[in-house]
Amino acid sequence: MMRDVSSCNTYDYGDAQYWDARYVQEGDSLFDWYQRYSALRPFIRNFIPLTSSPVLVVGSGNAVMSEDMAKDGYEDIMNIDISSVAINLMKTRNRQIPQLKYKQMDVRDMSFFPDESFDGIIDKGTLDSLMCGSDAPISAARMLGEVSRLLKPGGVYILITYGDPKVRMPHLSRPVYDWNTVLYIQPRPGFQRPEGCSSSRKSYLEPVPITENGSLPAEFVMEDPDSHFIYVCKKKDAKELLSLYRLRIDDL
């Protein structure tokens, strides 16, 4: 199986003008891509501390994800989007919620933020959008390089995507990012397991193995063929980097 959205080049999803026009057309409506916070909450609460730890939501659009996170106790959430229309809409809507901040920004250039600014970075479909645009591999590399730069040691990048490991791991597994990636699979909202269908998985919080060539095991069958893939990329801390450095020295 190989599933991706990178063939959807009808529009340039990496272009601000496209998104500005789309959000103008949608007006004050709200929309969460892929999954609501209620479904993602176990993952986010498990990997991002519920404290004043700064969190970055990329491609925040007109979703209520960040509002739900603030209600859940997160105290410092920066939201960025390439569309100034979306940013102005949500900034006005949530002006009474001090935990939420908004800034128009392209994820391929987040130089506004200094290195190691965030404990967690959440991406629901932004990388997918870039993979639908022009110069997709270059855009993906620029974005992921910035994400890695902004993560604190031990911080996590949580990517929710339609891209399965065969098409996402080549982008995520570059050594320069200094992170370890674990895969989870979450059925689409509203999915119900067919009657009489049993599953060997105890929980959707149970990691899914990835083979050495970056794909799902041949025997693995998804309960929901339209599931979302959740990649949790944890930035290596100083201890892990030192251990890796020593291993490389020993191999010389």
Cβ neighbours of 32 (radius 10 Å): 19
Query: Could you give the CA distance from residue 197 to residue 216 in angstroms, rounded to a whole number?
Result: 21
H helices within the chain, ranges in order?
A: 16-26, 37-47, 65-71, 84-93, 126-131, 136-150, 165-172, 238-251
pLDDT tens digits along 65-119: 999 999 999 999 999 999 999 999 999 999 999 999 999 999 999 999 999 999 9
* pLDDT category of residue 200 using cuts at 50, 70 and 90: low
* pLDDT category of residue 1 using cuts at 50, 70 and 90: very low
Q: Model's pTM, two decimal places?
A: 0.89
Residue 180 included in any domain: yes
Residue 24: phi and psi, rounded to 5, are -65, -45
Residue 7: its pLDDT value, please?
Answer: 47
Which pair of structure tokens corresponds to residue 113?
């933020």
Range of the domain at 93: 16-251
Q: What is the dihedral of CA 14, 20, 24, 30, to 10 degrees?
A: 50
Residue 3 included in any domain: no
The alpha-carbon radius of gyration of the chain (Å, integer) is 18
pLDDT tens digits along 128-169: 999 988 789 999 999 999 999 999 999 999 999 999 999 999
What is the count of structural domains for the chain?
A: 1
Residue 168 included in any domain: yes
The CATH number for 195's domain is: 3.40.50.150
